[in-house]
Amino acid sequence: MSTHHKIKWFVLCLLFCHLTGCMQDGSHTSNQIQAQNNNKMEYRKLTPEEERVIVNKGTEAPFSGKYEKFSEKGIYTCKRCDARLFRSDSKFDAQCGWPSFDDAIPGAVKRVPDADGMRTEIECAKCGAHLGHVFLGEGFTPKETRYCVNSISMDFESILKVDPAKMNDPVKMTDTAIFSGGCFWGVQYYMEKVKGVISTEVGYTGGHKDHPTYKEVCSGTTGHLEAIEVVFDPAQTSFENIARLFFEIHDPTELNHQGPDWGEQYRSAVFCRNDEQKQVTQKLINLLKEKGYKVVTEIRNAGMFWKAEDYHQEYYDKNGHMPYCHGYVKRF
């Protein structure tokens, strides 16, 4: 057997060990992690499949995860607690069926002996979420390290949404909020000017149609609302600050319309990413109701946000007009 073939066999054996090892994934500390999970309200609520992997230390099927062949630039974060874990420039294709990285963001990933006694498990250092395993000395890259990670344990922050000055921060420094308050041009006009807002995008959310177009949303058949996704730096502003502004630049008492724009896609809603956002939104609605406003704003769970066509982005700034149906009114 040539050296080349020996190396090939060695790699195949390692892969086999990894695959069979995955079948034995235990849940020896799952209760512990679950307990931590219950105590931390800010953790994202997991789907049953996410919980199987992240809490019960399962493994997603090889070649099935969304980040396996993914090559965009940005930062991979913990699905459960948002901590930053891996940078895209550490990612390489090990052809093993899972996303592979040869380095982690310093301090972000904890190595622990696996229950199988052979492998080394990797966890999110902040919340203990199961990520996968780490393998050393395989010769893939000069760092001789392969963090083999389940796609489902991670989220991805595009470099386009990251403040370049904070690329190396171990903790995710951005947060996201999604609002619907009538024509999205006007909401974006005000939101993008807030201190601490890193970027905004207008789009569609809340409905059932994938990749909806403006025409489809206007037809009223998709269930989507015109919405804005606001990415902000929690060190400079807060969800509450932005939510307060939201209630003061649109009229939260108008049902199924905003000014001259009529239709269910223009109704008032906050799409919340976690319990904290829901509590803050509810608090603001209660404050307004105490002041006599008959608020109709809906509190909903954030789901998929579909970016709108380019010509809708920063519409007023590009066209030099002022919003026709939004304006600041002090309400709090």
Residues at the interface with Zn ion (CB under 5 A): 78, 80-81, 83, 124, 126-127, 129
Min separation Cβ 56 and Zn ion, Å: 15
Cα(76)–Cα(67) distance, rounded to whole angstroms?
Answer: 9
Minimum distance from residue 45 beta carbon to Zn ion (Å): 14
| 83 phi/psi in degrees, rounded to 5 | -60, 145
- Residue in 78, 96, 124, 183 annotated catalytic: 183
Residue 117, sorted as left (phi over 0), alpha (psi -120 to 50) or beta, turns out to be left
Choice between 131 and 217, CB closer to Zn ion? 131
Q: Is 183 annotated in the active site?
A: yes
Least Å from the CB of residue 199 to Zn ion:
24
With tokens 């060695």, the residue in question is 10
Q: Please tell me the distance from the alpha carbon of residue 230 to that of residue 240, in angstroms, as a whole number.
A: 13
Contact between 216 and 258 under an 8 Å Cβ cutoff? The reply is no
Identified catalytic residue from 78, 96, 127, 148: 148
C-beta of 1: minimal distance to Zn ion in Å?
44
Instruction: In whole angstroms, give the CA distance from residue 299 to residue 303.
Output: 12
Strand duo 268-272 + 298-301: pairing: parallel
- Pick between residue 127 and residue 272 the one whose CB is nearest to Zn ion: 127
Contact assessment for residue 252 and residue 293, using Cβ atoms and an 8 Å cutoff: yes
Closest to Zn ion by CB, 129 vs 173, is 129
Of the pair 78, 295, the CB lying nearest Zn ion is at 78
Catalytic residue positions, numbered: 148, 183
